[in-house]
Structure 1
Amino acid sequence: MHTWIFDLDNTLHDASPHIFPHISRSMTAYLQTHLRLDPEAASTLRLTYWRRYGATLLGLMRHHGTDPRHFLWHTHQFPELERMLRREPYLHGVLRRLPGRKIIFSNSPVHYARAVVRLLGIDRYFDDVFSIEHTKFRPKPDAYGFRRLLRRHRLEPRRCVMVDDTAENLRTAKRLGMRTVWVTRSKRVPGFVDVRIGSLLELPRRLNLLT
């Protein structure tokens, strides 16, 4: 029986319309305040670090000695999180139909990830929410966090299925021996992806491809 490892944002819910723009604005404001930059310079630096390191946080830690917990706390505040959430239709039914353990593996901080899971009403389906703090702030696609998750739950990679909207995260999962499911509308599928789905609704019907 598989252990299902799910990404959170843009996999179990749609973060693009409201949540991701809010985080981007919050990060820019953080850089303005703590690095004393004007809005344009702060936005440029945020994007530069994101493109170079895959996460703005990594650039701030490397070049400015930023405290990651302080940064993540202040950039992931959502007074109206429930209103901003865009739920995947029939998500509960999909999760109920998947046999095996389920874990969330997210690059977001634990306070935000747990709040989203609670508001989606899906906490009962998951054994753990494995957040960026658990990776010692080495986010996906870094293999370090994957290995920590596997050790924490005593998992064999060959018995795990990684479900994610980001291809590079799946590349790492595949290298470690996991099966991979890419949630995307892309028609071009790289070799490290075992199953491509346009929506989580398709997942229970594709189980035969993951055995």
Structure 2
Amino acid sequence: MTTSRSKRRRPHFSGGRPVWLFDLDNTLHHASHAIFPAINQAMTQYIIDALQVERDVANRLRTGYTQRYGAALLGLERHHPIDPHDFLKTVHTFPDLRSMLRAERGLGRLIAALPGRKMVLTNAPEAYARVVLRELGIERLFERVIAIEHMRDRRAWRAKPDAAMLRRHMRDAHVPLADAILVEDTCGHLKRYKRLGIRTVWIVGHLSAAGPSARLPGTGRPHYVDRRIRSLKSLRLGTRASRRAAPREAPAPSAGSER
């Protein structure tokens, strides 16, 4: 009986090369250090100015819409007369972004060494995402950046963890869901997307006890997380170990901010 349960829990592999979907903030760099506080402050101020509300009301709207919709922008756009593009540009523009960035040493080598295709999947706007990737020296390693503007369809703005949005983008990129590996710091996104059959990696090295994660670092691995790592270096080491253990299997792991 134990063997039967173990077999059911094994992720299905399509046999293709892995396709890595990397979240951006608190995954490829340490956004909680300076960038997330600045974004959250800028969003609150934007809501104060646009809606003429007190700071405590603006903070409640920002956090409430993030929890309800996955990104504060979606709630603001749905319930208030704001310009989504102006909002995204305003709250993601910094005079000295380079000084705010913190990332793992040898980040480019770590990403380049992973087998398969690589993409960025982020609820941030494309302009900000590309500036961050450029400053980190890793933009060329990703074949595409799927940012929040690209997640929008003809009916509405969408964001992670919207399932239909991810299916659409994976179909457009010719990626079988069984080949996709999402590396992400937000547990709620991993939980939703695990249901689609993708593999999930929870990176916790940039999280803090006050962060929005469903669980805190060091408290175990939820059932919908295939691997829990502290750093991208750990991801590479785990991938190498997987290849040694199962050389014929596609190499892959086994089983935030408020925008």
TM-score by length of 2: 0.77
RMSD: 1.5
Q: Counterpart of 2:161 in 1: which secondary structure? A: coil
Aligned equivalents of 1:110, 1:186: Cα separation in 2? 32
Aligned equivalents of 1:39, 1:187: Cα separation in 2? 34
Aligned equivalents of 1:81, 1:157: Cα separation in 2? 34
Equivalent residue for 2:83?
67
Equivalent residue for 1:183?
203
Aligned equivalents of 1:47, 1:118: Cα separation in 2? 29
Aligned equivalents of 2:53, 2:59: Cα separation in 1? 9
Q: Counterpart of 2:95 in 1: which secondary structure? A: coil
Aligned match for 2:193, one of 152, 169, 173: 173
Q: Which deviates the most, 76-85 or 62-71? A: 62-71
Residues 11-160 of structure 1 correspond to what in structure 2 (within 5 A)? 11-136=27-152, 137-160=157-180
Q: Counterpart of 1:181 in 2: which secondary structure? A: strand
Structure 1, unmatched stretches of 5+, are none
Equivalent residue for 2:234?
202
Q: Counterpart of 2:188 in 1: which secondary structure? A: helix
Aligned residues, how many? 211
Q: Is the 8 Å Cα contact of residues 159 and 178 (structure 1) preserved in structure 2?
A: yes
Structure 2, unmatched stretches of 5+, are 1-16, 205-216, 243-251, 255-259
Q: Counterpart of 1:210 in 2: which secondary structure? A: coil
Q: Which has the higher contact order (CA 8 A, sep 6+)?
A: 2
Aligned equivalents of 1:144, 1:49: Cα separation in 2? 20
The percent identity for this pair of structures is 45
